[in-house]
Amino acid sequence: MMTAVTATNEDEKLLRTYVGANADYYLRKWACFHEVDLKGTGFNWSAFFFAGFWLFYRKMYATATILFGLIFVEFLVEELLLQRFLSKSEFFAFLDLIIAIVVSIFVGCLGNYLYYRKASQMVSKAKSAYPTEEAQIQFLSKRGGRSVVTALAGVGLIVAVVFGLSFFLPTYQYGQRIDFGSNCEVYYSGEATKADAQRLGAILTEEGYFEASEAASVRIERARGQGLTISFVVIEGAWNDLDNLRFFEQLGRTIADAGLGRPLTISLCNEYFEMQESLFVE
């Protein structure tokens, strides 16, 4: 068990200098803190609601990096392995929500403790590096306090990485991609070639499918010794609409007759290219 952090006026002054704004709150939380059982640090609601922002805001860069590094590892495992084999998107959406809640609770519960460890480490560093209180205060003033700019930059970096992964991972999962306009794309995988994808994109453009869609994702696949499968991402429930099924069956015939050949399977999918209904064109 350790003594309260306010045991000496010198330490209290240095801790206040490092914390800066809202120092009274943190010193009050730390005053009854015992390292063994972590009791007395209290729950930090700012850390709970703004976990990532708060960590960067209080310049806890190492903690933020470790935490979000673990989250990114989980994200990559989920996207590259689990979804690829289990294909249960609703389960993973629920899992993502649970992980977000757990992270918020973790940072909320341990935020004050983690911040104490950071502040006490910096105070110890200042006292061992500088002999005078004036130099120690100057050191802690520069490295402590808050930083909105750093917090925004840190969160911005996280968002950029997430968007980057969301751009790269579909290509990894669904095949190579060719863009047709700003929001329409054709993936090709298996033994399907780039020429097959370009031909399909040209057919869909000519038939007005891409023009009629604000955004459209299509995939063309060919398994060894089998015919083509063309998968269309459609809105939820579209695979249960008879008129919609007739439309795609006719579109499949048009695609086959335009040079891609028969037999041809048309697959109607959700946003993860998970097949919900299939139509066979002989």
Q: Strands 184-190 and 216-222, how do they pair?
A: parallel
Q: Which are the contacts of 38, defined by CB distance < 8 A and separation ≥ 6? A: 110, 113
Q: What is the pLDDT of residues 152-176, one digit of tens each?
A: 888 888 778 777 666 565 555 678 8
* The pLDDT value given to residue 135: 93
* The pLDDT value given to residue 204: 93
36 band by pLDDT with thresholds 50, 70 and 90: very low
Looking at the chain, the number of H-run helices and the number of E-run strands are 12, 6
pTM exceeding 0.75: no
The percentage of the chain sitting over the pLDDT mark of 70, rounded to a whole number, equals: 83
Alpha helices for 130-208 (secondary structure H) = 133-143, 148-174, 194-206
Q: Which of 190, 201, 254, 259 is nearest to 226 (CA)?
A: 190
Average pLDDT rounded to a whole number, residues 108-124: 90
Q: What is the pLDDT of residues 206-264, one digit of tens each?
A: 998 988 777 889 999 987 767 889 999 999 899 999 999 999 999 999 999 988 888 89
Task: Tell me if 108 sits within 8 A of 41, measured CB to CB.
Answer: no
Average pLDDT rounded to a whole number, residues 181-195: 87
Task: Tell me if 131 sits within 8 A of 5, measured CB to CB.
Answer: no
